[in-house]
Amino acid sequence: MSEAVKPTLPGVFLAFAKVGAMTFGGGYAMIPILERELIDKRGWATNEELMDYYAVGQCTPGVIAVNTATFIGNKLLGTIGGIIATLGMVFPSLVIITVIAGILTNFADIPAVQSAFAGIRVCVCVLIFNSVVKLFKSAVIDKATFAIFLAVLVCSFFFKVSPVILVLCSAAAGIILTNLGVRGK
């Protein structure tokens, strides 16, 4: 992590606008970009904080990227920081989508455009996979967290349990296992 840069409203807006402009493929694909911009370059959060905000952002209503930006902006500069971070995150998308919507309908049936989108989808899959591997390495650190991981995996894939239920049960399991001494405090 670099030396912390003092957050300002314009700085927060620009940092999240950069993340918003560079995030293709949704919330999962933004993790590496958030890490680089907020942890490595600015020192505004730790990896653990970012993953915590991301987890909460995932189980609250709305878009994960926007929720995460709101939480981090609020941490940095209070309510106005949350608002500015949110605006920074959505501004590039608003501009880009407006432009694309205006011209895409004219080109959507062209085979080269369809092929380009197919290639982009594959790239996004790899970005998401890289984020999952990184998150797995930092989250699954002992037998207890591996057991929670396996339980969530089974409940998610085979029983289609709601992500909100999975997060709440995982949080409870983490607290219980720590209090029982199964995990280090």
pLDDT of residue 119: 93
Q: Which amino acid is at 87?
A: L
Confidence at residue 2, expressed as pLDDT on a 0 to 100 scale: 56
Residue 155 near residue 116 (C-beta atoms within 8 A): no
Query: Phi/psi at 113 (nearest 5 deg)?
Result: -70, -45
- The pLDDT of residue 8: 96
pLDDT in tens, 127-171: 889 888 888 988 899 999 999 999 999 999 999 899 989 999 999
Place of tokens 């902006």: 73
Is the model's pTM score more than 0.75?
no
Residues of the chain with pLDDT under 70: 1-2, 25-27, 184-185
